[in-house]
Structures are given as structure tokens and as C-alpha cells.
Structure 1
């Protein structure tokens, strides 16, 4: 089975989840013309977690011709406050149930490590995150939901970047959680670039554990080099000189990425994170991904 493609409205994240000038229902209607199989959701999109409200969201997604394969959550499992970590666990558990409600068994619910708090050392952070994920895994198993640990940069509503942003920390954390049926990697090649790492090198390390993927692309502003953007910790961050654009026309080598995934018989979802310059670019990105899937994966 070939990977299927979903769309995520990164361009409208603030409007839907922050200022509330758009609703998730507005986005679903806007997405109708897009050539996608599913719509990825974000936990901040929902104004209620009551069953009646979630039923309305699910019905709107279905009526627009889509599935809901992935739910993007941002648990802060590195918070030095034990009560805050407990609340993060409770929120992730609730989101696993929402993922099942909207996507059924086999849907992916994202997990993150948490923020890179200045006073939280690497060893302690990895221990906390592993403990938190182990506590939510039984709920994932119960509902048949797969947890996807993303190599992330920074949730838009966080103060600090991702604790496990750098590849070496991400891989150490991944190794600390041996579960493979209901836990794996949500791979994002653009986030590897932002981390100052090689997206292909990361993928080669984690390809056998990838359960979902975000597909976007980054462009360097004219006259800029990656080395010029590199910060003291080796990351690039969200520099204004590192820009979003049409997937397949930027820094990521998608032929190589899809070749590696196909070599590991990847059959999960690929979610397009795009539209920062309008839905027309998102449509172009989706068309590119359709061509790449057809090229690298047998029907």
C-alpha cells in the first residue's frame, strides 16, 4: 500500500489556535479543493473535547471527503515542575482519546519531548520524557493509537525550543523507549535542517521506526548560506533567511528521502506542512508529493 497524503494548515495556526479568528470548521471547508486524503489536526484547534463537539468535527472532515490520520500535540514533558509534567501527561492521554475518536485505530498522535529549559540537564530531561511517555503508552495501546515522537524545533506557543531538537539527543531519547508497535518517529526533514543536522543522516538512523512524516521545504534567502545562519549551539532556528516554500523546490532531497522510506516499506501517512504563502503553494506541494509517491512506491 502506498503512503497517503494529508494536509496541515501551518499558515493558519495562529488564526485557528491562537487568536480564534478562524475555526477548525473554516479550515476544513477551505481544504475541500485540495488533493489530499486526510487532514491533520492540532490539539489547539478544538474549542471543546466533549463528544458532541468532536462528532461535529469528525462529520465535517468526512463530509469534505477526508480522513483524520494524525493529531499534532505538544506535551511539555521536561517541565521542572512535577505537577506541570503530570498535567502534560493528562493532556496527552486526553489527546490520544481524541485521536481515536476522530481517526480510529492506527491513527498517529504526536508526542514531543518538551522545552529546553536552561536548568534541565540532558540526562534528567531524557529520564523525565521517557517516564512520561511510558505512562501514556498503555492508553495508546488500549485505543490502538500510535505515538509519533517528532524531531521538532519549537511549538509556536512555547518559550523555549525543543529539548530533543538535536539529532544526538533525539536518538538517545528514542533508544530509551523500546516500544515499537504503538510508538515510533514522526519524521520531519525540514526540522532536521533547522536543528543544523543532516535530514538524510537522521532518516537513515530512524527509518525502521518512522510511523508518520511531515513534508515541507526550506529555502535560503538569496546571498545566505547555512553556515551564516548557524547559531552557537549548532542550530539554525527560525531565521527570516530560512523560508518556507513549495515542497520539492528547497533544500530537502525528496528523491533520497522517499527512496530510503520505500526501502523500509513505509506505508504511513505523509502530512504536508505548507501554505505559508497561500493555498496555491500548498496545492503545488501536494501535487509534488503525489508524483513522488507514484515514483517511489508500488501501487
Structure 2
């Protein structure tokens, strides 16, 4: 059937009108809207829990790491961080068993918390700690854990950890040496660990954990000097005993993992009144999207204090 001139002109006008609309409505406008939505969307961090929160070096009935993983899943955590010193078995079969337990319970193994000490003039002692750190990296790889906490270590001039805490983490260097010596030892030692970290795909996070890491300036001095994408920062919210928010903000841009302390029932060594909504905001301003891992250091029964802490962190971090 021959179309009338009026029908032809109407159809042509309709196509002309739709052409620019098609380009903007189905291409430019949705992209712009999506970008705006992403920019405005509040970051929701996944909440993990350290197995240390259960054990605390004092609850032997809660030391078993596999049991901690199961309890974490039942409480509603997204992931679990394993404390190396809590482990009583390091065989390959056991490492794979932990990985399997996490999988079937629907939680990630997101962090591996290790100890090492490089503040020693003894080159052989430093090398031993380097070798142990490399072994920890390989263990993290076997368990499928993507990030690992490392420390500078302490000078060892305190009587014990209680004495160190009594002096608010401040410790004198060994006689005849200075912090300047220590910084070079730590930098040299961590540099030797990085090839294995890169090979295994395990991102190291230097924590503000006493020693030369007691201040943000100390942590960042080491990280900046090494300048490697495989060494960044593990931020512990409870290890700055004065002016925590300004100090946390200094470390936030290079933070790849967060450990969040709570003190329900009173702290084991000290208590801090931490404003977690404020901490969450300062981390969000730096676009931190990683895990927030609970380190429960309260005197309350962990099976009571840990779920309460989870509610607190869920509220603060979305």
C-alpha cells in the first residue's frame, strides 16, 4: 500500500526526534548517572574477626583455629583473620583443612597476623626473622590469604609486654644504638621479604604495632623508603594511645587492612573510647574499601563481647 505524504513526514519527524534522545538516554545519561551513583554510594566494608579475639592468649578452650572459624561464621562475620601464634599445627594438610573449613562455612580467610623482630644488631638474628617471615608468606599463600600483617619488632629492653604497656609502648633502644640504626635494619630486612610476597601474591601490611611502628611517621618512613606496591599499611585503631584520629588519618591513604579494637568489659591492658563512625568516615574519605577486622581486647566473655562488637562495627562501617 502506498503511504501518504502526511504519514511519511510524520514518521520522518519521529525518527529525527528520537535520534538525539537515543544517543543521550541510552548512552551518555546512563553513564553519567552511574558514575554519580558510584561517587555518592557509601562504602560498605566487610567485617572480619581475628581468631585472637577468641583466644586472647588466655582462653585455651577457644584456641582451636578451626573452631574460631566456625564460630565466626555462626556469629555473622564475613571473614576471618588468623593469628599465627595461635596455630598449633603448620602441616600442609592442616592449612588446607582451614581453607576448606572457611569455604564450607561461607567466610573468607582475609588476613594472616604474624610477628617478627628486626630491631637487633645481630645480623644472624635478623636473617632468622627474614626467613621466618618468608615462611609465613608461603603459609598465607597455601591458605589463600591475600594479606599479611608484619611488624618492626621491639628493642627488647622492656621486661615483658605488660611492662611495655605500662610505659605506653615507649621503649629505649639497646645500649650503643639508636632508632636510626633500627630503621635501616627494618628497611633492609623487609626488602628481602618482598620478592617472595610478590611471587606469592601476598600483600604485606606494616602495622602501627609498637617498636618503630609506634608512630604513623615511623610506619610511613619505612613504607615510603621501600616504595613497593607489595608493602603498604595495616592500620590498628587501638595502637595510638593519644590523638588517635589525626594519626589514623595520616596512615589511611596507604592502608590496605584495618584491625579494629574494642574493649567491652574493660581493656586487658588499657581501654580507648574510640569513635568508630568517625573512623569509618575518615577511611571512607580515603576510599578505603578493604576489610575491617575485629580484635576484641575486652575482659567480657569473648562469646558475648565479640557479637556486641560486630554490631558496633556493622553500624559504623555500613
TM-score by length of 1: 0.77
**Alpha-carbon deviation of 1:272?**
0.4
What CA distance in whole angstroms lies between the structure 2 residues aligned with 1:185 and 1:129? Answer: 15
**Alpha-carbon deviation of 1:76?**
0.6
What CA distance in whole angstroms lies between the structure 2 residues aligned with 1:219 and 1:62? Answer: 30
Counterpart for residue 164 of structure 1:
213
CA deviations on 1:65-124 (whole Å, 9 max, x unpaired) are 2111000001111123211111111111111111122135xx110110011243141011
CA deviations on 1:153-190 (whole Å, 9 max, x unpaired) are 4xxxxxxxx333134433333332222x2211111121
Q: Is the 8 A contact 1:219 1:251 kept in 2?
A: no
What CA distance in whole angstroms lies between the structure 2 residues aligned with 1:20 and 1:51? Answer: 24
Measured at CA, do residues 272 and 169 of structure 1 come closer, stay the same or move farther in structure 2, by a change above 3 Å?
A: same
Q: Is the 8 A contact 1:187 1:213 kept in 2?
A: yes
**Alpha-carbon deviation of 1:275?**
6.1
Q: Is the 8 A contact 1:275 1:281 kept in 2?
A: no
Counterpart for residue 187 of structure 1:
235
Among 86, 89, 111, the residue aligned to 2:150: 111
Among 159, 170, 174, the residue aligned to 2:223: 174
Q: Is the 8 A contact 2:252 2:286 kept in 1?
A: yes
Matches within 5 A, 1:257-276: 257-274=279-296, 276=298
Counterpart for residue 5 of structure 1:
47
What CA distance in whole angstroms lies between the structure 2 residues aligned with 1:275 and 1:128? Answer: 31
Q: Please state which structure has a larger fraction of its residues in helix.
A: 2
**Alpha-carbon deviation of 1:282?**
0.9
Measured at CA, do residues 38 and 239 of structure 1 come closer, stay the same or move farther in structure 2, by a change above 3 Å?
A: closer
Among 56, 61, 64, the residue aligned to 2:105: 64
The alignment's C-alpha RMSD in Å is 2.4
**Alpha-carbon deviation of 1:11?**
4.3
Matches within 5 A, 1:178-217: 178-179=227-228, 181-193=229-241, 197-217=242-262
Higher Rg: 2
Q: Which runs of 5+ in 1 are unaligned?
A: 154-161, 222-237, 244-249, 295-299
Q: Secondary structure at the match of 2:196?
A: helix
Counterpart for residue 234 of structure 1:
none
What CA distance in whole angstroms lies between the structure 2 residues aligned with 1:280 and 1:217? Answer: 12
Q: Secondary structure at the match of 1:40?
A: strand
Of the structure 1 ranges 36-45 and 164-173, higher mean CA displacement relative to structure 2 is found in 164-173
What CA distance in whole angstroms lies between the structure 1 residues aligned with 2:222 and 2:78? Answer: 32
**Alpha-carbon deviation of 1:269?**
0.8
What CA distance in whole angstroms lies between the structure 1 residues aligned with 2:97 and 2:147? Answer: 20
Q: What is the aligned length? A: 255
